[in-house]
Structure 1
Amino acid sequence: MVQWQKLFENRERLFWTLHTGGWVGFAIIFYIGSFLHDMRSIWLFVIALNAYAGWLITIPLRYVFRWARQQSIWTMLFTVAISTYLTALLWAVVKNINAWEIYKHGYRPDEWYMYFTNTLNSLIMVVCWSGLYFGIKNFQMLQKEKQNALKASTMAHQAHLKMLRYQLNPHFLFNTLNAISTLILIKENQTAGKMVSRLSDFLRYSLDKDPIKRVELKQEVQALELYLEIEKVRFDERLSVEWEIQQDVLDAAVPSLILQPIIENAIKYAISKMENGGEIKILAKRFGNDLLLEVSDNGPGADIVDGRLQRASGQGVGLTNIRERLHSLYGDDFSFVVSHNHPNGVKVSIRIPFEVGEDAKQN
């Protein structure tokens, strides 16, 4: 399969392969068609010689047609018609001479115009050659245009994914830097130093991971732990986190930082609104042939209509961002559901195909 693909990608090699194969095929078909006419080897030799002459005489047409394709439509049509006819005429003369010299042992016609007989048969063959040439050329042009369009679409798709992925909420950075500044002011330099280190590690992870590729869930969990450690410095005992990650899904491939905006929403709209703080639960497990990811909180909850949060400030960039990223990566083969958590709070569930790291790379 790969060898055939290389053949079609190399236009020079493709021309000579099709050109030679076409004339060999002509010789075989012509011989089979005239098998009952003459079975002697001399007739086979004449057919082979005629095919070789056709192979040789039609080569210049390639360069004439290549030039004609760059001209206006009428110039191209005139050039193609004249060159095709003259080539057919020349091939007819060569075929007649071959038949008279070899097959008829030096026969010569009485009239000069006899040399140009059987031109119609030759013309049909050369017209077929010309038609195939232009047909293949047009097909190659269409394929190239499709490849260019596909490449442009892929580049746009990748740019869109990167844009979605790098839309980090500036409030997170602002709040973190503000918390670090406060720690420094109250002389908690050691805690501030740890927070800077964790922020640096988290940002390095977010920038190093290619948004187009997926990462193993265990790497995603490590990044979320860094993020939550930063938030725990801000909220202290008010933020509690429960992890429920099945061991057999740690190698599953997931989009990088797909859960971070959901956790950020839970902290912003649930934990920060509760005087005594609250709990965030993060779950990951197999669900048939899929991977189920859930983030839930025990906050005051929110109005949910058709699986979308209804808040005064809207859904924000985070959840809309996630939905678009999932659609870009999985098409319609995913589920993204926002629902009420029981007894209270909000739960966000994501279902995506279960793929291990190597499977995701192949996609």
Structure 2
Amino acid sequence: MSNSNHFTSSLVDRLVRSSLFEHRNRSFWVLQTLGWGGYALVNYIGSLMHEMRDIYGVVLLLGAYAGFLLTIPLRYLYQRSWELHPALLMLVVILTSYLCASVWAVIDNATYWEIYKFGFRPDSQFFYFKNNLAKFYIILSWSGLYFGIKYYQMLQGERQKALMASSRAHQAQLKMLRYQLNPHFLFNSLNAISTLIMVKENDVANRMVNKLSHFLRFSLDNDPIKKISLEKEIDALMLYLDIEKVRFDERLEIQVDVTPEARRALVPSLLLQPLIENAIKYAIAKVEDVGVLSLAAFVADGQLQITLCDNGPDAPNDPQALFKNSGVGLQNTQERLLALYGKQFRFQMKPNKPQGLCVEIVLPYETPENR
């Protein structure tokens, strides 16, 4: 299993790196083309302010094309020099930029002389020096833009990988929290079935096994990360309660009052089962007469409000203290909601009247249509 996970993780990482590389490569060529095209266009617009021959546009275009070609090797040189000490890297940038500018100035002057009949002459060394210096500033600016964009892309890549790592951790946390609940419930159910078999209640035990298989199938078919409608959640809850009814017989009464609008709401799968399990273990099992579990849900002000109440006799004076003392059920539910909704939820305990406890959950109202 660990080798499979390592292979999957490595494959995902390679795909991420490949995607980032393709994105950066494509971005370079797009920006390179647009940048030098813009350089030629700006110079041409500037030339319109003076009386220039039409052939001057061709000269500008060839000059921009020369700059386009000469800066391509710089990209690969900078990639190989990326790990150098900053001072040494700066020296490499300055020297290569000046060398590139010098070659560009020679090409530019040759182009001016051959096409425009105006360029380098032995008596115009000052003009050549000015042209070379101007092109050095242009290449240096190109280098600065290259490093700035590359640093930005690296930052975005690291941020993307951090978000992906956070998402994987988030998914793993949700799965861990959800799957911690199933073994607890399974142990209780199998223990009850074992008891039924020992007392020769084979038909009842068989019905309980069938109910349990349906419930576990539902649990396995639903991803703990994904949300389901409250109606499906209630269907799964009734499977669980049917199992418990086999144990309690007539001592368990279920009341459900859920509006049609609330039934369409999306909630985390198996959200209510651990809460019901706690209610049965700590409240219904201690009721001498009939234990009543009531579930109500409605939508108000864009929020789904779910209330689950029991009539247990030993409700604490401070119900909120149950979050620390009632085992993994309540804590896991709270952590799942926190992982899914951040601060946009409410999960609290309050006394029921005349006795018992109520659990209240308030979530953002989501449906398959508006999520």
Give the structure-2-normalised TM-score. Answer: 0.88
Displacement after TM superposition at 1:144 (Å): 0.8
Alpha carbons 1:245, 1:284 under 8 Å: kept: yes
Kindly provide the CA deviation profile for residues 62-91 of structure 1, in whole angstroms up to 9, marking residues without a partner as x.
111111114444543332222111000011
* SS of residue paired to 1:226: helix
Distance 1:231 1:202 in 2: 12
Q: 1:263 and 2:315 equivalent?
A: no
* Counterpart in the other structure of 2:219: 206
Kindly provide the CA deviation profile for residues 245-299 of structure 1, in whole angstroms up to 9, marking residues without a partner as x.
2223222111111111111111111111112231010112112211111110111
Higher helix share: 2
* SS of residue paired to 2:264: coil
Q: 2:121 aligns with which of 77, 94, 109?
A: 109
Q: 1:127 and 2:131 equivalent?
A: no
Distance 1:8 1:25 in 2: 25
Distance 1:144 1:253 in 2: 33
* Counterpart in the other structure of 2:291: 278
Q: 1:22 aligns with which of 35, 46, 57?
A: 35
* Counterpart in the other structure of 1:194: 207
Q: 1:234 and 2:247 equivalent?
A: yes
Q: 1:333 aligns with which of 299, 322, 344?
A: 344
* SS of residue paired to 2:181: coil
Q: 1:45 aligns with which of 29, 43, 58?
A: 58
Over 3 Å counting, the alpha-carbon distance change for 1:288 and 1:73 in structure 2 is: closer
Distance 1:228 1:288 in 2: 31
* Counterpart in the other structure of 1:166: 179
Q: Identity percentage over the alignment? A: 51
Kindly provide the CA deviation profile for residues 3-26 of structure 1, in whole angstroms up to 9, marking residues without a partner as x.
xxx999622221111111111111
Residue 254 of structure 1 aligns with an amino acid whose one-letter code is: V
Displacement after TM superposition at 1:170 (Å): 4.6
Alpha carbons 2:20, 2:157 under 8 Å: kept: no
* Counterpart in the other structure of 1:343: 354
Q: 2:95 aligns with which of 82, 89, 97?
A: 82
Displacement after TM superposition at 1:32 (Å): 2.2
Kindly provide the CA deviation profile for residues 302-348 of structure 1, in whole angstroms up to 9, marking residues without a partner as x.
2243x61459x813211121111111111111111210111211011
Which segments of 5 or more consecutive residues in structure 2 lack a partner in the other structure?
1-18
Over 3 Å counting, the alpha-carbon distance change for 1:242 and 1:134 in structure 2 is: same
Over 3 Å counting, the alpha-carbon distance change for 1:171 and 1:164 in structure 2 is: closer
Displacement after TM superposition at 1:150 (Å): 1.0
Distance 1:332 1:248 in 2: 24
Kindly provide the CA deviation profile for residues 224-246 of structure 1, in whole angstroms up to 9, marking residues without a partner as x.
11110111111111111111122
Distance 2:193 2:337 in 1: 34
User: How many residues get paired?
Assistant: 352
Distance 1:235 1:157 in 2: 38
* Counterpart in the other structure of 1:3: none
